[in-house]
Amino acid sequence: MNTTAMTALPSPAHTLAQAMAQLPLIAILRGLTPAEAPAIGEALVSSGFAIIEVPLNSPEPMHSIATLTKLFPQSLIGAGTVLNAQQVKDVYAAGGRLVVAPNFKPAVVAQALALNMVVLPGVATPTEAFAALDAGAHGLKLFPAEMITPATVKALRAVLPKTAALMPVGGITPDNMAAYLAAGASGFGLGSALYAPGKSAPAVQQQAEAFARALKG
């Protein structure tokens, strides 16, 4: 009889909780090229970031995801702008374990859950939020945050499960994070204020550290 204990893989919910506990900020690297991935990834990880997404409308996104997952296996890395189930499979094949979408599509959530991936669909209303959570989403991307004010986040937080991770995305800067956090946001997705195509790794690291400081208060 084989008495060797089989070590279960951590659940996606546990993986997300660990990454959020380290730093509840998602680096959104829209426009990243595979050549830039190692240096930008290092700049983020050295600044404390544990969650990185490469939107699928970036150049060769699967190549960048594969590179990042090999270089930073301790981080939660995957794709953004995931719009269908086949793209979920492609991200998984590239080594990604995170799926972020701008919208809630049940098939995307279901495919991510089937592959044991963390999935954060985009929502903008209570109806979408409850539907996404009922489908098994591990957290919610509140998008676009430009139209989801701190007052809206407070209202959502009052009715959604207390354990639901609420992540405003869009127009987030170090200066406007405090109001969202006070309203009940769990963390944030950071786009062009953190990274833009061609931005140097030192500049990204400087901005990443500014966001981390703002989050911590």
Catalytic residues: 53, 141
Phi/psi of residue 180, nearest 5 degrees: -70, -40
Do strands 188-190 and 25-28 pair parallel, antiparallel, or not at all (unpaired)? Answer: parallel
In the beta sheet, which residues pair with residue 27?
52, 190
With H, G, I as helix, E, B as strand and everything else as coil, classify residue 20.
Answer: helix
Residue 53 tokens read as 């997404």
Distance CA 128, CA 160 (A): 11
CB atoms within 10 A of CB 212: 15
List the structure tokens of 92: 């998984």
